[in-house]
Structure 1
């Protein structure tokens, strides 16, 4: 199943917007008044020439300190290499400016696994003159050394360790430090699940690596040892429960579809399986 990278990043940054700006754009953070933050609805733009539709990832309306007017922060996650991306950022900027008539702060987050020197500008010039020099803020995650962030009690830092520059041999240590960060931050369960789910999407340890992780945590001498172990056990139990639920759902789906193939009506299937007719219909539709 393909990963919806844009949705994951949008949910993460929308939940921890101020933490994201504070961590990666500290000078910008000093100027934004975070008492005034609202998230705008998604914008869908059509590229008539290419015949493609693009959805803007995240739009945040806010204020600058000491100023009355509103500004819009546009954050775009780019999960794949696209040479024309700077041009697309300029098109987004132009259309957003045209619609909202407010200053736009454009930010691009490059989250793919390769290391490149990404452009942060779109220029248009001729031999006889310079027409356009559009620039945007950038964050290239793979260029970030994950060890520089493990002392940050910042939820964005914890989640995005999974997309930073680490080697295969560092995967176990990476997850151990991620868990230690979760324990230190003492987040509520919903936010903790969001961070854990994001991290696990991009860093899934093998069974052997998980065993190594548990051994290393057991040997820790810090006061976090028991809390980290509890966290590991808690999420292992939740994964098992999700697996059981999915297994039961797939089993029931097979039974319902078999009964339907034998010519049984939806009403009869519902009465024999203790499902509602709507649930039976959904199982039959999800083939």
Structure 2
């Protein structure tokens, strides 16, 4: 989760694997980064994500450079029946407008739902001093202020080894972020760190989906040159064979691995198609097989065009019409 020019730098911001990790493991996310919020939620009564509603509420607000924004409706304890809302921002780089954006989003969401909004921020930038945890203004005796809990991933650096032993999945995600920063410009060390994290995934008593989700985040952060990626896939294949399990290198990763073997350009196309599939599934639900197969024939430019067009889709028919265009 760093900005640099080496092959390992992440190439996707907003639709990163962070999004799925937070959504699939929301309780763990809050427990690790925001324990007070986690304690205040009644998890027995369920929760739901409202990303489309969030997009509608803040669609004309400046986005900045972020990795994730999420909105979840949750119940509190003490017999309170109404939903309250948790808004999460994971910010990938320094942005002087960040605090104002948090203020704006909180205000618009409160106006939309007329319910309390808990705004939480995770900063994944490299600065140790940038900590925008409030926004306020005063005019003509009128004071308006907003403060919110803030987590800086760089603050966890002294606890790296403890993170690697912690069984909360976001401890491992945080460790991956720190190791990505530490190995910037050194692909040999980057490979060793990525392989260590991958082995840890298999040593935990975690279900298949959790392993896939977390490896997706680690893989996205810790990019390697093609030859080292191929070496890593071979090592993972051997590890899975020895442990009699097929997780990371199973069907979800075949397209990616084949892309490296056949050329980086094809690899990018395969990754882009996988990403647009996920975007379509979130917006339209499961795709009919005939439409899903047609995605395989799209070029990189066509996939990019579809990723923009699908923001306006509301039904399967919209996708059919788009694919029917000459």
Determine helix, strand or coil for the equivalent of 2:88. strand
> Gaps (5+ residues) in structure 2?
1-9, 236-241, 270-290, 304-326
Change (3 A) 1:99 1:157: same
Aligned to 1:273: none
Aligned to 1:61: 73
Alpha-carbon distance between aligned partners in 2 of 1:280 and 1:174, rounded to the nearest angstrom: 35
Are residue 144 (structure 1) and residue 156 (structure 2) matched? Answer: yes
Aligned to 1:86: 99
Are residue 167 (structure 1) and residue 182 (structure 2) matched? Answer: yes
Question: Is the Cα contact below 8 Å between 1:143 and 1:164 reproduced in 2?
Answer: no
Equivalent positions of 1:15-54 (< 5 A) are: 15-35=24-44, 36-42=46-52, 43=54, 44=56, 45-47=58-60
Alpha-carbon distance between aligned partners in 2 of 1:249 and 1:16, rounded to the nearest angstrom: 27
Aligned to 1:10: 19
Which protein, 1 or 2, shows the higher relative CO under an 8 Å CA cutoff with sep ≥ 6? Answer: 2
Alpha-carbon distance between aligned partners in 2 of 1:74 and 1:178, rounded to the nearest angstrom: 29
Alpha-carbon distance between aligned partners in 1 of 2:104 and 2:47, rounded to the nearest angstrom: 24
Alpha-carbon distance between aligned partners in 1 of 2:261 and 2:149, rounded to the nearest angstrom: 45
Q: 1:9 Cα shift? A: 2.1
Are residue 154 (structure 1) and residue 168 (structure 2) matched? Answer: yes
Bigger strand fraction? 1
Determine helix, strand or coil for the equivalent of 2:43. strand
Determine helix, strand or coil for the equivalent of 1:139. strand
Determine helix, strand or coil for the equivalent of 1:164. helix
Residue 73 of structure 1: which of 62, 86, 107 is its match?
86
Are residue 192 (structure 1) and residue 206 (structure 2) matched? Answer: no
Alpha-carbon distance between aligned partners in 1 of 2:295 and 2:36, rounded to the nearest angstrom: 55
Aligned to 1:240: 257
Q: Aligned residues, how many?
A: 251
Alpha-carbon distance between aligned partners in 1 of 2:267 and 2:102, rounded to the nearest angstrom: 45
Change (3 A) 1:233 1:101: closer
Structure 1 residues 197-236: Cα deviation after superposition (integer angstroms, max 9, x where no partner): 2111111245569979x99xxxxxxxxxx659x989879x
TM-score, length-scaled by structure 1: 0.69
Change (3 A) 1:83 1:280: closer
When Rg is computed on C-alpha atoms for both structures, the one with the higher figure is 1
Alpha-carbon distance between aligned partners in 2 of 1:114 and 1:198, rounded to the nearest angstrom: 21
> Gaps (5+ residues) in structure 1?
216-225, 251-275
Question: Is the Cα contact below 8 Å between 2:91 and 2:125 reproduced in 1?
Answer: yes
Alpha-carbon distance between aligned partners in 1 of 2:197 and 2:302, rounded to the nearest angstrom: 36
Question: Is the Cα contact below 8 Å between 1:6 and 1:77 reproduced in 2?
Answer: no
Alpha-carbon distance between aligned partners in 2 of 1:209 and 1:243, rounded to the nearest angstrom: 8
Aligned to 1:104: 117
Determine helix, strand or coil for the equivalent of 2:48. strand
Alpha-carbon distance between aligned partners in 2 of 1:281 and 1:7, rounded to the nearest angstrom: 21
Alpha-carbon distance between aligned partners in 1 of 2:135 and 2:266, rounded to the nearest angstrom: 50
